[in-house]
Amino acid sequence: MSSTDFSGDPYAESRETTEGTVYTVTGGDWDSLLDSVSADEHDDRIVINMGPQHPSTHGVLRLVLELEGETVTQARSVIGYLHTGIEKNCEYRNWTQGVTFVTRMDYLAPLFNEAAYCLGVEKLLEVEAPRRAQLIRVLLMEINRIGSHLVCLATGGMELGALTGMTAGFREREEVLHLLEYLTGLRMNHAFIRPGGLAQDLPEDWKEKVTDFVKVMKSRLPDYDKLLTGQPIWRQRLEGVGYLPVDGCLALGATGPILRSAGLPWDQRKVEPYSCYEEFEFEVPTATEADCYARYRLRVAEIHESLKIIEQAVAKIEPGPVMVEDRKIAWPAQLSLGSDGMGNSLEHVRKIMGQSMESLIHHFKLVTEGFHVPPGQVYSCVESPRGELGYHLVSDGGTRPVRVHVRDPSFVNLQTMPAMSEGGMVADVIAAVASIDPVMGGVDR
């Protein structure tokens, strides 16, 4: 349906479905923009469509650009091509199953989504995860932060033609994914952080694996300074490009490295600490240039700070439980691999079956129905690699959420793209979007 069918109404005609009234809006952006650029007004301007599957737009992002020669006079982003309905799906699953959904939003930072969601559920339950579980969460999140920043550096390098930067970035990210797979069982979408703690404890030799990873990263990070930081072409492509000062950041709600590149040291780990972050010593890197180069340097600096936090976490983690004691909340976490490579071992199944009929019924009800969460609403947030990642959870006292709303930093930060790009060259749009580092899974949800 084209925009001409709307008859001045911003919505298309509604239709009734079994789930209620549905409205459809399509095509309006492109058609209206083309109409506005009439031959009489701007005969020297053209409108181009970049995406929604352009290799330089970080996933399924579409940019509609109005150009005058090589200069961008107007830019707008068109989103929604990766919509998964995760927020709505959470309302049809119990509180623990919600973890499996939220981990798939920002798929480069799955553990941050899990942590923010579980912190919210724990606030509603008025419980606190055991200290060992909280410190392991910090360890996993910082490892994940390094992996996410490496993808940003790698894809940013690829988009600007620095292919060696891309291969190096993904090489190091593979180290991150190998380690996460060893610690949690999966490379991505872990569902390892659960309300009340963790799905299970870490393997016995986790300390050696993490220490080896830190050594490898420390030996390879200087290569990025040689390869990119001091490289004249790299600097020329990024310095002074995508400029957005601190007042612009605040007006648009920008967060994370974009805000810190403009000089404001806002980091949730420092300003509103969670999961024992107040015990860790680390810096919040900032810059004042507020351009793409500053954001690049900040992410490299943040990788160094994450390595510091990881080393401190390894020293702090002591033996103890990784799930709350309350058996009405804690899912059975003594998981082990069966002979078929799936599910629980026969020993664990025998243990559950042999305890008592009440124990078996409780296990069944906990896994199928879930636990009840007291009525109320809460906002919980963490500092993800892209900035403040917040969850607004609403409970009516049942075993499922009434509402799960996410303040995803990629979605908010993407609003800065026109401010960074308009007035610059087409090539600089690529650098600006790369420095924003949006993940469309989080934007569209």
Contacts of 175 (CB under 8 A, 6+ apart): 213, 216, 217
Q: For residue 428, what pLDDT is reported? A: 87
Domain segments of the chain as ranges? 3-78, 86-325+371-444
| Cis bond before residue 52 (omega within 30° of 0) | yes
As a whole number, mean pLDDT of residues 95-99 equals 87
Span 42-53, average pLDDT: 75
- Out of 46-55, 108-117, 190-199, which region has the weakest mean confidence (pLDDT)? 46-55
pLDDT of residue 11: 46
**pLDDT confidence of residue 116:** 92
Q: Provide CB contacts within 8 A for 149, sequence distance 6+.
A: 299, 300, 302, 303, 385
pLDDT in tens, 219-246: 888 888 887 887 888 888 888 888 888 8
Quote the CA–CA distance of 122 and 329 in Å, as a whole number.
10
- The tens digit of pLDDT for each residue in 166-193 reads 888 888 899 899 999 888 888 888 888 8
Q: Which amino acid is at 333?
A: A
Percent above pLDDT 70 for the chain? 85
For residues 74 and 418, the answer to whether their CB atoms sit within 8 Å is: yes
Cβ atoms of residues 408 and 444 within 8 Å: no
**Mean pLDDT for the chain overall:** 82
Tell me: pLDDT of 7 over 50.
no
Going by pLDDT thresholds of 50, 70 and 90, the confidence category of residue 71 is confident
Evaluate if residue 371 carries a pLDDT over 50: yes
At 310, the pLDDT band (50, 70, 90 cuts) reads: very high
C-alpha span between 200 and 322 (Å, rounded): 7
| Predicted local distance difference test score (pLDDT) of residue 113 | 92
Cα separations in angstroms, 359 against 181, 350, 354 = 32, 12, 9
Higher pLDDT, residue 367 or 434: 434
**Pick from 242, 426, 173: nearest CA to 165:** 173
Question: b/e map of 57-67 (b: 16 or more CB within 10 Å)?
Answer: bbbbbbbbbbb
Burial of 273 (0-12, 13-18, 19+ CB in 10 A): middle
Cβ-based burial of 122 (10 A; exposed 0-12, middle 13-18, buried ≥19): buried
DSSP assignment string, 227-244: IIIT-HHHHHHHTTSS--
Tokens 């490299």 correspond to 300
> In terms of Cα–Cα distance, which of 238, 239, 290 is closest to 261?
290
pLDDT of 149 reads 92
CATH code for the part of the protein at 86-325+371-444 = 1.10.645.10
